[in-house]
Chains A and B, each alone.
Chain A
């Protein structure tokens, strides 16, 4: 605001002859007629839209319009040719919920994955962050080593590696045989294949860990001192000082991990060779959507699946946010 007003008065000086000060109460030398101010504001707005133009084009062109298009498509049987496209009403949704044999399986797999791997990952992230926050040496080195998997976790190379770690004659079984445990193909077995993908997600706990670390550093030392004076032990201090203080960070990390978890794709695709096998045990929702759209060309149906995914993510996120009322504490001294 100060910026615009100063700019305005500069303009006014130049245009003084045409814009006489008609406010007798104004002290001399301070002039800000409303019209000039409006001009400046309009100029700012115009400049803003110029700066925003690439974003606006992207926002409407490849975000909002595609979203609406996808909603419309979800009520059609579109399969690549607009000439043969028919309006099918809610049929795609009905088929999805009652006919498609793979659908509920993919919902189960995805929910299981999110429900198990997200809390475990966050617990790991918080535990390691709490250890790192004790003022230990080589903090930078630890941070780097724990963070690197987050950076690589989404790559094909790591998914390839995972096949060799959890395979029949893989690394894990080699290590297990050292302690006399008979291994098996963890990836080839429908009971354990999903677990390998969950472990891959937990393996990337470095990113929430960094965020937790930043959060832990902001917990005021005075709170710990007060708690210690009141006789709180280590465990009590963690549950009654640390946890409430960083609960906003837990919420933030949780939301991010949930949204990411619902959209997991690369690892499952590569580990299962694009099939979601064995026996559909790693057929994630996104993988089924990909298959329906890009191998079967059922674009209308896949669009309906995408909208259900959007609704599910929105609902889960909303519930988690709402639950924050009961466990998230926004402290007085904290920013944001």
Chain B
């Protein structure tokens, strides 16, 4: 291929370069169109509220922070500070629960040749496909009878029971890669399963655990259906429910505040993503998580 005649070579290189440019033009335009609503929301949050619906460009002529001030307290009785605190508590507990319970289960599936392992593993994978709505009503009745409605427990306790099979699957894939020699050596030194798990598996699986943590946080932070069902008093609302309440309450007035709070609600998600970017994208490639 490199033996092209000198007469042809410049043209083909030029054609090559032109094709590259064309690809970049296509990708940049697609990226721009896709990101435009997000960028627009970001800049609109810094505009005076009455300009939000009029201005379609990204230009902000007289930036202001008043939307953040007004938006923060715009929902009657409860400030967004409470919603953010609630979301943070629930999401952090969800992270702790998912990481520990899924790692424990994954270790058994990946490294312990126990009887019935294949069946349990198949059942665990099967729950990935189960639509959540089948469990919704009985779980609600169960948690209701335990007196858990309007507490954080229904949003947190299931996370401690490894119900997110995706994470178990991801961690199983990872634990399987840990070299056997390492485990054998530890066994010969007299390590039991608890120590092998805590001192070999967990340190070596930090990337997968971080992926689990980041996705747990993001999913829990964005979760809408569960808080909608379980949290009944406004003081317990999470950010998404607070936002939905804001939409209903604000009617046609405080667009700026709504945009400001929406933007704030996305920041932890974007922050987590940027911090764990490489791990998250690898995690998606191996398991297909969203």
Contacts and interface: CB of A to CB of B under 8 A. Distances in A.
The judgment on whether A and B are partners is yes
Interface of A: 1-4, 6-7, 10, 41, 44-45, 47-49, 51-55, 57-59, 61-63, 65-67, 69-70, 73, 128, 131-132, 134, 136-137, 142-152, 154-158, 160-165, 169-171, 174-175, 203-204, 207, 210-211, 213-214, 252-253, 256, 259-260, 262-263, 265-266, 269-270, 273, 286, 289-290, 293-294, 299, 302-303, 305-307, 309-310, 313-314, 317
Contacts of A259: 129, 131
Contacts of A147: 281
Given A54-B104, A211-B284, A265-B225, A3 B133 contact: no
A147 B163 CA distance: 26
A55 B129 contact: no
24 contacts: A1-B113, A6-B184, A6-B187, A49-B108, A52-B109, A54-B162, A58-B158, A66-B134, A67-B135, A142-B31, A145-B34, A148-B38, A154-B222, A154-B224, A154-B290, A155-B222, A160-B262, A170-B53, A207-B288, A211-B288, A286-B133, A293-B140, A313-B131, A317-B129
Contacts of A136: 20, 23-24, 27
A52 B108 contact: yes
B177 interface: no
The 9 nearest A-B residue pairs measured at CB: A58-B161, A174-B56, A66-B138, A48-B114, A157-B262, A214-B285, A55-B105, A51-B108, A55-B162
The interface residues of chain A, by DSSP majority, are classed as helix
User: In terms of DSSP, what is the predominant structure of the interface of chain B?
Assistant: helix
Q: How large is the interface on B (under 10, 10 to 19, 20 to 34, 35 or more residues)?
A: 35 or more
A218 to B, nearest CB: 10
A265 B241 CA distance: 14
A145 B30 CA distance: 10
A303 B137 contact: yes
B226 to A, nearest CB: 11
A302 B112 CA distance: 41
A315 B164 CA distance: 23
Nearest to A168: B53
Interface in B149-174: 158, 160-163, 168
